[in-house]
């Protein structure tokens, strides 16, 4: 991961890091072999920098974290989900535009 602001979420820490977070969380479900995921990575890094202190940004490697991927019905990647108060408030499947992601995260952050 390029940015130290991007967290790594796993089956083991997802509940604590995402669902119980006091701030909104942008989760990028991705895999190493996924070219669109790699194309989206710099955007995720930029959003993590932009929202530092306002929202958490992180990634779930779907190959290594099957439980959480299955729980949220991830059938295509990249899939981005914004969580607030333990609930999904917005979902993007495929390559999403930075402006759309930022707008949805700003809305969640209030």
Q: Which residues contact 14 (CB under 8 A, 6 or more apart)?
A: 60, 65, 68
Tell me, yes or no, if 74 is annotated catalytic: no
Residue from 6, 18, 37, 101 carrying the catalytic annotation: 37
Q: Which residues contact 106 (CB under 8 A, 6 or more apart)?
A: none
| E strands in the chain | 6-9, 25-30, 56-61, 79-84, 87-93
SS3 call for 90? strand
Q: What angle do CA 30, 40, 105 make, to 5 degrees?
A: 90
Residue from 13, 23, 34, 46 carrying the catalytic annotation: 34
Tell me, yes or no, if 28 is annotated catalytic: no
Annotated active-site positions, please? 34, 37
């Amino acid at each position: 991961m390029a940015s130290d602001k991007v967290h790594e979420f796993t089956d083991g820490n997802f509940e604590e890091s995402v669902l119980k977070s006091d701030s909104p969380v942008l989760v990028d479900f991705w895999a190493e072999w996924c070219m669109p995921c790699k194309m989206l990575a710099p955007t995720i890094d930029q959003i993590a920098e932009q929202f530092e202190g306002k929202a958490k940004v992180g990634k779930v490697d779907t190959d290594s974290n099957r439980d959480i991927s299955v729980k949220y019905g991830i059938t295509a990647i990249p899939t981005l989900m914004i969580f607030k108060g333990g609930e999904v408030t917005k979902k993007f499947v495929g390559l999403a535009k930075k402006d759309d992601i930022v707008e949805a995260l700003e809305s969640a952050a209030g």
